[in-house]
Amino acid sequence: MKHTLSVLVENRPGALSRITGLFSGRGFNIESLAVAATLDPTLSHLTLVTTGDDFIIEQIIKQLNRLVDVYKVVDVSEGEYVSREMALVKVRAEDETRAEVLRMCDIFRCKVVDVSPKTYTVEVTGPQSKIQAVIELLKPLGIKEIARTGTIAMVREKKTV
Amino acid sequence: MAKMTGAKMVVEALKREGVDVVFGFPGGAIIDVYDALDREPSIRHVLVRHEQGATHAADGYARASGKTGVCLVTSGPGATNTVTGIATAYMDSVPMVVLSGQVPTKLIGNDAFQEVDIVGITRPCTKHNYLVKSVEELPRILKEAFYIAASGRPGPVLVDLPKDVQNAKAEFDYPDTPKLRSYNPVVEPHNRQIERAYRMIEKAKRPIIYVGGGVVIANAHEELRELAEGIHAPVTMTLMGLGAFPGTHELSLGMLGMHGTYCANMAMANSDLIVAVGARFDDRVTGKVDAFAPLAKIIHIDIDPTSIQKNVKVDVPIVGDCRRALQKLVGVMKKAGRPVEAWKDQHAAWWEQIRAWEKRHPLTYKEEPGVIKPQFVIEKLYEMTRGRAIITTEVGQNQMWTAQFYKFDRPRSLLSSGGLGTMGYGLPAAIGAQMAFPDRLVVDVAGDGSIQMNIQELATAMEQRLPVKVVILNNQHLGMVRQWQELFYDRRYAATVFGVTPDFVKVAEAYGAVGLRATKPEEVEGVLKQGLETDNLVIMEFMIAKEEGVFPMVPAGKATTEMLLV
Ligand SMILES: Cc1ncc(C[n+]2csc(CCOP(=O)(O)OP(=O)(O)O)c2C)c(N)n1
């Protein structure tokens, strides 16, 4: 099962490699990882996607909590959450396909962020499934390069009327 | 406040932390701290002969005394030489602070002379580590290092000290308590879980208390004894747990696991309730996990949540300090007010079964005329020291025979590399223990292989005038590996026989120590007597049966009930 973990960690040198080292040292896999500072510059927020059964996920969470620099770990995928990823896709766009690329962008509400005589560079954001769908559809047109951010995620606020 | 150098700060911090001895080896990148330390009369420095020796000595000091061990080493090769010792301490949860020199900050990352990324190298085997970037943060980091090393589940912490940081000056503002918002080990166990545990104990017909090194670390031996006697339950210990409960107590079944007693392993396997305290269900204890104690419910007390539910399914997890947890459990037990007779009745059939197992296969060995049996040497050592010595061991058969045949009655009297299994641990650890307790008898039980791994530390012991006793059980093999080859590799003794072994008596003499040797059973007692009475470093070499094995033995990957017996 895929799990998305949200980790708050002290913004200190070595903290990130301690976390990734924990995964590699125990043979756990990291599928995606995104890190940036929070409003509090002394803390970083890290979203980590990994897979494993309940037993492994429990171990991962406990092991993360054990690290001296880790402030908080939440398995956001336990409940309702929103997640986003962004990708930049440089796709071949020559005479006959240029319009086709733009049409796709329109359907998926992507943005063209760079144009050259032979390519468009497209920005896509959304849940991972949407990024995947866009990539699959652009593939036949000829993708030259992709850069993806990895997932970021947040627990949904409880809604009461 | 007057300013002081980083090097001086290190020494000041050591003083504030109550450190009285530091084990180390100097070099250019740590010379400034050495210079400052040299001016501080209240702290002794023990100059080792290899940095691995410094870490094991600090470790032995820590295990014997319960205080934090400290090492001081230079950058590059000095620092890398500590890695085995750090990993050893990490695996056995030993509080240790390693201070390493480092090249100046502006050279870090430039492949400077004697530069190595020791913080990167030790990340997976330290509880935490630091590269100090400026002298201003040094007091805070030192405070944190000592606090982290000794609190929660203890472990080694490394602080890497660049040379310019040692030389720079700042105010020494040493915090009383560290501020670590992300580090809050849970010490206080949950009352409801304790209640649940007690109710389970009340119902059990075939309970067993399974004790690990956590009880020793937490100084929880008194509470453990109160519980065991209170409910009249059998107690079995891991290698690390030996001494946490008296080995001579009528409720003790001795050690369990790969080389545990028949009785202990059978009792674990047939129990209906395991009360695990400060033990982590290591594979050397469980054997094949699927076949481990199939009928037992498990209560698991441990300060480290990651140890719980890691290898076996636990019914009542209790996270917290072992001592606090046992105190609370004993409290609940006393409140319930059930007389011990009632417990005895409830467990009568269980004890009958246990006594039968004990009788069927007691811990024993076959005597052979004219040949010294290692078990006999350990038995005699136990008798002649009346169980009062601090025993360190190397790794291999020597370690297991010691665990089996020396009856440890007191905590912190067996110092052995349990988790990592580090050959070369025993001699430097004995040096550390003897530094902590100058008046106690300290004996390193060694194999002829292991002793050669840190034999250079004989010089350290001589220099410090430490009357450590080294008992070498010389089987002229790397015995434990040979035993596996004998049992599982058709006796092909690949690389387990030394072509050259030094004359250990002469080795002792070369260092200015005393060397004694026994080659016949009749000589064993005499050599031990003379050796133990000599007020000097002594090597006692016993030429033992070459192909003696350690039994019982659970072959790796087998169920613990599938023991090979004598
Ligand atoms: C540093 C290290 N290298 C290798 C081993 C593997 N090993 C475990 S026991 C053993 C044999 C030890 O031989 P010796 O010290 O002579 O003791 P004996 O088993 O004969 O008592 C070896 C090589 C180890 N535990 N540690």
Q: Which of B127, B182, B306 sits opposite A10 (nearest CB)?
A: B182
Q: Does B186 touch chain A (CB under 8 A)?
A: no
To the query of whether residue B114 is one of the catalytic residues in this protein, the response is yes
The conformation of residue B361, written as its DSSP 8-state character, comes to S
DSSP string, A80-147: -EEEEEEEEEEEE--HHHHHHHHHHHHHHT-EEEEE-SSEEEEEEEE-HHHHHHHHHHHGGG-EEEEE
The conformation of residue B7, written as its DSSP 8-state character, comes to H
DSSP string, B410-442: STT-EE---SS--TT-HHHHHHHHHHH-TTS-E
Longest dimension (CA), chain B: 75
- The active-site residue, picked from B453, B480, B540, B543, is B480
CB B401 within 8 A of CB B473: yes
Sequential pLDDT tens for chain B (566 residues): 789 999 999 999 999 999 999 999 999 999 999 999 999 999 999 999 999 999 999 999 999 999 999 999 999 999 999 999 999 999 999 999 999 999 999 999 989 999 999 999 999 999 999 999 999 999 999 999 999 999 999 999 999 999 999 999 999 999 999 999 999 999 999 999 999 999 999 999 999 999 999 999 999 999 999 999 999 999 999 999 999 999 999 999 999 999 999 999 999 999 999 999 999 999 999 999 999 999 999 999 999 999 998 899 999 999 999 999 999 999 999 999 999 999 999 999 999 999 999 999 999 999 999 999 999 999 999 999 999 999 999 999 999 999 999 999 999 999 999 999 999 999 999 999 999 999 999 999 999 999 999 999 999 999 999 999 999 999 999 999 999 999 999 999 999 999 999 999 999 999 999 999 999 999 999 999 999 999 999 999 999 999 999 999 999 999 999 999 97
Question: Using the beta-carbon criterion (under 8 Å), do B182 and A59 form an inter-chain contact?
Answer: no
Question: Using the beta-carbon criterion (under 8 Å), do A63 and B183 form an inter-chain contact?
Answer: no
Q: Does A27 touch chain B (CB under 8 A)?
A: no
- Give residue B447 CA to ligand 1 midpoint distance, Å: 8
Identical fold between B3-171 and B374-543: yes
One-letter amino acid for residue B5 of the chain: T
Question: Using the beta-carbon criterion (under 8 Å), do B127 and A9 form an inter-chain contact?
Answer: no
Q: Which of A10, A63, A69 sits opposite B306 (nearest CB)?
A: A63
To the query of whether residue B237 is one of the catalytic residues in this protein, the response is no
CB A110 within 8 A of CB A123: yes
What's the Cα-to-Cα distance from A70 to each of A73, A132, B11, B272, rounded to whole Å?
A: 8, 31, 30, 38
Which secondary-structure segment (H or E) carries B118? helix B118-122
Backbone angles phi, psi at B135, to 5 degrees: -65, -25
> What is the rounded CA–CA span in Å between residue A85 and residue A126?
6
Best to test chain A binding among B306, B310, B319 (most A CBs inside 10 Å): B306
Task: Let me know how many helices (H) and strands (E) chain B has, helices first.
Answer: 23, 20
Q: Specify the fold of B3-171.
A: Rossmann fold (3.40.50)
Helix pair angle (B51-65, B83-91), 10° resolution: 20
- Give residue B394 CA to ligand 1 midpoint distance, Å: 8
Question: Using the beta-carbon criterion (under 8 Å), do B182 and A66 form an inter-chain contact?
Answer: no
Ligand 1 lined by B394 (C-beta under 6 Å): yes
Pocket test for ligand 1, best of B394, B476, B480 (most atoms within 8 A of CB): B480
CB B38 within 8 A of CB B436: no
To the query of whether residue B530 is one of the catalytic residues in this protein, the response is no
User: B374-543 maps to which CATH number?
Assistant: 3.40.50.970
- Which residue in B158, B74, B57, B21 sits closest to B424, CA to CA? B57
Specify the residue for token string 């133990």. Answer: B532
Specify the residue for token string 């002794």. Answer: B44
Show the beta-strand stretches assigned E in B307-389.
Answer: 316-319
CB B45 within 8 A of CB B37: yes
> What is the rounded CA–CA span in Å between residue B99 and residue B79?
9
ipTM value of the model? 0.90
Domain boundaries, chain B: 3-171, 191-360, 374-543
To the query of whether residue B113 is one of the catalytic residues in this protein, the response is yes
DSSP string, B321-338: -HHHHHHHHHHHHHHHT-
Total-model pTM:
0.96
Q: Can you give the pLDDT at residue B85?
A: 98
Q: Can you give the pLDDT at residue B1?
A: 74
Q: Does B140 touch chain A (CB under 8 A)?
A: no
The shares of helix, strand and coil residues in chain A, as percent rounded to the nearest 5, are: 35, 40, 25
> What is the rounded CA–CA span in Å between residue B59 and residue B297?
35
Interface of B with A in 141-160 (CB under 8 A): 148
- The active-site residue, picked from B3, B106, B113, B344, is B113
Specify the residue for token string 């000595």. Answer: B57
> What is the rounded CA–CA span in Å between residue B292 and residue B269?
6
To the query of whether residue B353 is one of the catalytic residues in this protein, the response is no
- Give residue B290 CA to ligand 1 midpoint distance, Å: 29
> What is the rounded CA–CA span in Å between residue B21 and residue B70?
7
CB B297 within 8 A of CB B342: no
CB contacts, 8 Å: B148 with chain A: 68
Contacts of B105 (CB under 8 A, 6+ apart): B133, B162, B164, B165
What structural domains and CATH numbers belong to chain A?
Answer: 2-79 (3.30.70.260), 84-152 (3.30.70.1150)
Which secondary-structure segment (H or E) carries B443? strand B442-447
Query: Does 3.40.50.1220 match the CATH number of domain B191-360?
Result: yes
What's the Cα-to-Cα distance from B396 to each of A47, B89, B364, B424, B549, rounded to whole Å?
A: 45, 18, 18, 11, 11
Strand partners, A19: none
Show the beta-strand stretches assigned E in B53-123.
Answer: 69-73, 96-102
Ligand 1 lined by B478 (C-beta under 6 Å): yes
Burial class (CB in 10 A: 0-12, 13-18, 19+), B82: buried
Q: Can you give the pLDDT at residue A161?
A: 65
DSSP β-ladder status, B442-447 and B297-302: unpaired
